[in-house]
Amino acid sequence: MSRTILFAFVLVIATPASAHDWYPIECCHGMDCAPVEKVEMQEGTSLVVTSRHGTGIVPATMPRRESKDSRMHVCMRPSGSGGMRIICVFLPPQI
């Protein structure tokens, strides 16, 4: 193996993992997941969350997944009605 190929291989292995490395494929299709920037409680038990992708409502019945970095994350896509549809939500273990 040449030194150049070996050096490139070492750089790839040494690169720190990003959040997209742990988002499940069923949640994150091409970068729809991001850390939550703002959380609000809506009447009842629903959460309104905002990320860099927009704002959406997390239904009270939506399963919560565990975040791998102690931050809240959300995966969302545009819905047919013009809003954002929440696909997955990740909460830190203590929430």
Contact between residue 40 and residue 46 where contact means Cβ atoms under 8 Å apart: no
Q: Is 23 helix (H, G, I), strand (E, B) or coil?
A: coil
What's the pLDDT band for 20 if we cut at 50, 70, 90? low
First-to-last C-alpha distance (Å) of the chain:
48
DSSP character at residue 21: G
Please give the Cα distance from 59 to 69 (Å, whole number). 23
Sign for the pseudo-dihedral over CA of 41, 69, 77, 64: negative
Q: What are the two backbone dihedrals, phi and then psi, of residue 30, each rounded to the nearest 5 degrees?
A: 80, 45
Query: Where do the domains of the chain lie, and which CATH numbers do they carry?
Result: 3-91 (2.40.50)
The pLDDT tens digits for 33-78 are 999 999 998 877 789 999 999 999 998 889 999 999 989 999 999 9
Report the mean per-residue pLDDT for the chain: 79
